[in-house]
Structure 1
Amino acid sequence: MANMLGLLDLCEELEAVAAKDQHFWAFYDSGLAMDQIMTAKLAHWEMEEEMGIMAAEFPAWHKRVRCSNGIADALPGVPGHQFKCRNMDLYSFIPMADLGCPNAMGSGSWGWTDEESGREFVAAGCYYGTSFLEILPTGQLVKLGFLTSYAALGSGSRWKELRGYKNYMVIGSELNDHGVQIFDMKKLLTVDPASPVTFDGTNSTSSDLTSHIQPSVFGRSHNVHVHNSLPYFVTVGMGPRLQGEPTCWSGIIFWDITDIENPKRVGCAGEDGYVHDIQCLIYKGPDTKYVGTDVCYGYNEDTLTIYNVTDKAAATIISRTSYTGASYTHQGEVLDKEWQQYIILDDETDEVNSRGPAADKYPVTYVWDISSLEAPKQTGIYKGTTTTIDHNQYVIGDYVYQSNYGSGLRVYDISSIPENSKGDDVCEVAYIDILPEDDGLPGGGNVTYSGTWSHYPYFKSGFIFVHTIERGAFVAKPSGAYPKCKKSCNADNCLRGMRSADKLEESKAFCGEFTKTVNVNVTALASTVPYAANACSGNVISRVSSACACLPTA
């Protein structure tokens, strides 16, 4: 419970700061909010280390484990290896020790496919460095190598984020002096799996590194992002604004990689302070003023901030917009890169802090209409089915693949959003929960920083790499075609209670107002329509929303 007490203390501190309105936004802009969240995470992970959780021994296995009756039983008869699931099978598992990080934790990951052979590879960050693996056509994970950390290990080693550019992997870390390593994944093509290679990542002149840069005076970054069509990447979150980079204030730093062996800093954007994560694209969409512009969508702790970065040396802010329930704006993606009209984003601490629609601890994804880049609007939400914290998410066609800490990889059908941007018709179509330890808790999970950190869903084979904090790495794959969301009205206790003869008129009047806004308060809902709150217990906001969609409004 020590970690939860620390998070509760953080929550109280955040609320106290919020009460001092004139200082609230500065608290975010300075990067102090991020520092305090990192402190809470460190306390939790150090507690897990002290309890021996990071040192737990899990056997590797390589076989297809079918999702049957809601369970993927990897090791029948062995407790702790039965994973809740829906429409998702498991194929392989390698524990953290075998990845090259014994008694330590995992973090970000990314994938690469060799165009000539079609072979699929993964780079998986962990405390000691970066592990390189191949996913064989059978789904089996095979370790090929390990890239050592650039700097001496420390608390910041727990954070690594990676992105791919052509056949190169861009690797950043919160570790002081680590900088950004750029590694050529083609080096893995000739490695014999029987003799994995240790690559020297400690020296910028090492032949094992293609190149190396220091993004700030501290040599650390929280995230890296590679543009999807232009030869540059960005580093964001370079340490606290008040102590770190004197010109970019932990915002965006642009690195030209036309010559990948010699990345060049070509500009920065620090006007909105600390940037946690980002997506940069050539704009295509309904806002004709910006068609062809290079834009970045920044997930900036308390806002969605949109930048015009066509001129890297003079980037400007197009808009900066917060939302009800904002606690820590974390990450998101546009639904369609070819027509950028909608964005979905997650907030990493709204569940922890019981903010807005996440007051019931079920994870919330926020839906935005960005038809006007200068005036984006949050239009709706959709919610997860298990109490947990949502993390990184990536859109592929009609689906979004989202890492949730304690409840694993979740897949949602988001194809309805262009027709209904309130999010009412979004539904969960698949998942694999790789942290069975918290399944028995109320709500089906724990709202804390254990479980899944990252995943990579882009392989043509359909295999999905899932990287965890404590256990190790999994390979999953959909059991088959995902089901479509049902838009019909299923009469559960919630709907029956709200449309009962003595409550129907009251429910219709309530729903008429309820459906006009996305600003939902769980406590207010319970006091306004207590009969609905009682009948729609559990994930109350989602259940009431579904019921209201099935009732004619007054």
Structure 2
Amino acid sequence: MKAKIATATIALMTAGIFVAPLASAHEQAYDQVSPPTMEERQSELTAAPDGQSKCVHGLAADTYACDGIDMLDHLWLEDLGLTFANDMWGWTDPATGKDYAIIGGTEGTVFVDVSTPTDATVVGILPAHVLDPHRPYWRDIKVFDNHAFVVSEQIPHGLQVFDLTRLRDETGTLTEDAHYAEFGKAHNININEDSGFAYVIGTNTCAGGLHMVDISSPTSPAFAGCFDEHGYIHDTQCVTYAGPDADYTGREICVNSNAASDGHFVSVVDVTDKASPAPIARMSYPDSGYSHQGWFTPGQRYFLHGDELDEQGHGINTRTRIWDMTDLDNPRHTGTFDNETTSIDHNIYTERRLAYMSNYTSGLRVYHTGKIGMGELKEVAHFDVYPENDNASFEGGAWSNYPYFKRDIVGVSTMDRGLFILKLK
């Protein structure tokens, strides 16, 4: 293993605290996760001792199928001090210019300095607020005003707040700066950095819909409102709207991946008035399985959406749906892109004319959006972090990615192999 773990970075399972969690209802699918053995990891590490490898003739480190993407560094779960990793986000320190990857996992939230992308180094870990052995073991993170906001399905985890500027001077085991306990569990969190509001989804409040929190003073989060009319929301993106529909210019709009008891939808809600949020539109779509996550393209005209279980349920290849949001009252499904793999899609984020899609067993796929107005996407690069197969399963692979670092790199978080630092050629 690479000797990159900060001295006080911890793996709680070694202290006898960790017990394998039991998945609930929808999350039972994640019981399929079967990470490589220590021997398999060590064997692969021998093939790439420095964690750096160019993509040559379609392979990096003689292991990972790739096209147009090089591997700059790689930290295993053991390097991160985790037994399972999932979501990630990032932060660039405005004072030092340093880039940090923020990785969620079983034991807590890990901060990794990626300022030298070929020498990613763990700085510290914020332990889980509570490590509940009977709940799923992932957590999700977003950043606002130099603070990280962390939620988890564990109960009663609530919302952790951590001042990221402390990473300039502190390492090892860290402590939260504030805690919000108005919900016990949550599946995810989105933050509108323009307004200073966090939107927590999948909580045990608000019927699992939008639990809105005023974080304008980051260490004094305050309840702001609920939106429960559409039922359970699995993920959302909330923005101060600046897109083509002049009726909503300057309004605060959430576009939701709405996996509700009455079906699977993409829904649009005006949350400008937190005390009285107003539904705008709610659209079903064919071959649905589980409405999972999506992201606006720059300019907010198009929304790219992924369904987590349509590959399993309908036998289709990895699918991304294109929604034309020119009229927020009447969004139109204008195109469907199926790539060449059978993997389940997970999280997608857009930057300029590219979309970065994390697909479990087929890894990072990069799509060009130049013809999105024609209902088309084109895959232009990929890096497969799970070489075993491209099955439509949850057995391993990429959970998320972060393409917004100051440096021209992309972080990819994986359940079984930790963190990859990648670079498009």
Fold shared by both chains (TM-score > 0.5): yes
Correspondence 1:154 to 2:145? no
Alignment of 1:194-273 (within 5 A): 196-199=171-174, 208-216=175-183, 219-238=184-203, 244-245=204-205, 248-273=206-231
Partner of 2:382: 431
The equivalent residue for 1:84 is 65
Q: Which residue of 2 aligns with 1:447?
A: 392
1:172 paired with 2:151, answer yes
CA distances 1:347-401 after superposition (whole Å, capped 9, x unpaired):
00000111xxxx33x1110011111111111011111121101110001010000
2:28 corresponds to which residue? Answer: 39
Structure of greater relative contact order (alpha carbons < 8 Å, 6+ residues apart)? 2
Runs of 5+ unmatched residues, structure 2? 1-22
- Three-state SS of the structure 1 residue aligned to 2:370 is coil
Contact 2:296 2:303 in 1 (8 A): yes
Residue 140 (structure 1) shift: 1.6
3-state secondary structure, aligned to 1:352: helix
Q: Name the SS for the 2:348 alignment partner.
A: strand
Q: Which residue identity lines up with residue 362 of structure 2 in the other structure?
A: S
Match of 1:115 in 2: 94
The structure 2 residue matched to 1:188, chosen from 167, 174, 197, is 167
How big is the shift at 1:152?
A: 3.0
The amino acid of 2:393's aligned partner reads T
Matches within 5 A, 1:90-129: 90-101=71-82, 104-129=83-108
Structure of higher CA gyration radius: 1
* 1:286 positional shift: 2.6
CA contact (8 A) 1:53 1:470 kept: no
1:550 aligns with none
**1:139 positional shift:** 2.6
Counterparts of 1:145 and 1:311 in 2: how far apart (Å)?
Answer: 38
Structure 2 counterpart of 1:21: none
User: 2: distance between equivalents of 1:266 and 1:254?
Assistant: 5
> Any idea what SS the aligned residue of 1:98 has?
helix
What is the CA–CA distance in structure 2 between the aligned matches of 1:57 and 1:156, rounded to whole Å? 27
1:306 aligns with 2:288: no
Q: Kindly provide the amino acid, as one letter, of the partner of residue 98 in structure 1.
A: D
Among 278, 294, 315, which residue is 1:332 paired with?
294
Counterpart residue number, 1:349: 309
CA distance in 2 between partners of 1:285 and 1:114 (Å) = 29
Matches within 5 A, 1:369-380: 369-380=324-335
More helix by share: 1
Q: Aligned-pair distance for 1:223? A: 0.4
More strand by share: 2
> Alignment partner of 2:310: what SS?
coil
CA distance in 2 between partners of 1:190 and 1:108 (Å): 25
Residue 276 of structure 1: which of 228, 231, 234 is its match? 234
Q: Distance in 1 between matches of 2:58 and 2:199?
A: 41
SS of residue paired to 2:27: helix
Structure 2 Cα separation of the partners of residues 61 and 184 of structure 1: 34
SS in 2 for 1:321: strand
Q: 1:95: how far off?
A: 1.1
Q: Which amino acid aligns with 1:343?
A: F
Of 402, 406, 409, which residue of structure 2 is paired with 1:463? 409
Q: 2:253 aligns with which of 268, 271, 295?
A: 295
Q: C-alpha deviations, 1:487-520, integer Å up to 9, x for none? A: xxxxxxxxxxxxxxxxxxxxxxxxxxxxxxxxxx
- Output the CA distance in 2 between the equivalents of 1:406 and 1:155: 26
**Identical counterparts, % of pairs:** 32
Partners of 1:396 and 1:347 in 2: how far apart?
Answer: 21
For residues 297 and 411 of structure 2, the distance between their equivalents in structure 1, rounded to whole angstroms, comes to 21
When residues 271 and 116 of structure 1 are mapped into structure 2, their CA distance, relative to the original with a 3 A threshold, is: same
Letter paired with 1:365? T
Contact 1:128 1:157 in 2 (8 A): no
Q: How many residues were matched structurally?
A: 394
Q: Which residue of 1 aligns with 2:422?
A: 476
Farther off after superposition, 149-158 or 266-275: 149-158
Please give the alpha-carbon distance, in whole angstroms, between the structure 1 residues aligned to 2:329 and 2:214.
Answer: 27
Contact conserved, 1:364 with 1:390, CA < 8 A, in 2? Answer: yes
Paired residues of 2:27 and 2:136 also in contact (CA < 8 A): no
Q: 1:72 aligns with which of 60, 63, 71?
A: 60
Q: Judge which range, 303-312 or 382-391, deviates more.
A: 382-391
